[in-house]
Amino acid sequence: MFISGFDPLTFSTETIMMLKEGDAAPDFQTRDENGKPVKLSDFRGQKVALYFYPKDDTPGCTKEACSFRDNYSTVEENGIKVLGVSLDDEASHQAFISKFDLPFTLLSDTDHSVADAYGVYGEQTWGDKKFMGVARKTFLIDEEGKIKKVFDKVNVEAHADEVVEGFR
């Protein structure tokens, strides 16, 4: 995988985690659920909802994915391309897509390089357990590749509506 302009020797975690509205979205290359290489720059000229989620087929992640599925016609009518990103591998993504009939692309970030570039990988807490993982966060990226909006807090059951509204 590559991250355009990302050099782990010169970028600090603090720099990466400060991505904000108006910044250029870091380009990357990873694989989709079918193992096909995908780069963010492939979508230049389109609106992109790049949503990071912790794990396939878990309660909150399933609700979020199904929110996009159930409102996908509205998302498409607004010209928005949805890309979900987690640390899961392609086989897990294929099973998740099949089980819930998801109509959008899921990207496999098994080495967390994309999550690192967007500042969403780090220590997470669930109940009294701490672990390294991906935070639930969405970046809306405009046609020029700039970050239009960042959702630090996500309403998993209504996130598709939040995304459509965020591009208005």
In SS3 terms, the chain reads as CEECCCCCCCCCHHHHCCCCCCCECCCEEEEECCCCEEEHHHHCCCEEEEEECCCCCCHHHHHHHHHHHHCHHHHHHCCEEEEEEECCCHHHHHHHHHHHCCCCEEEECCCCHHHHHCCCEEEEEECCEEEEEECCEEEEECCCCEEEEEECCCCCCCHHHHHHHHCC
Per the residue annotation, which of 61, 83, 87, 163 is the catalytic one? 61
61 a catalytic residue: yes
Known catalytic residues?
A: 61
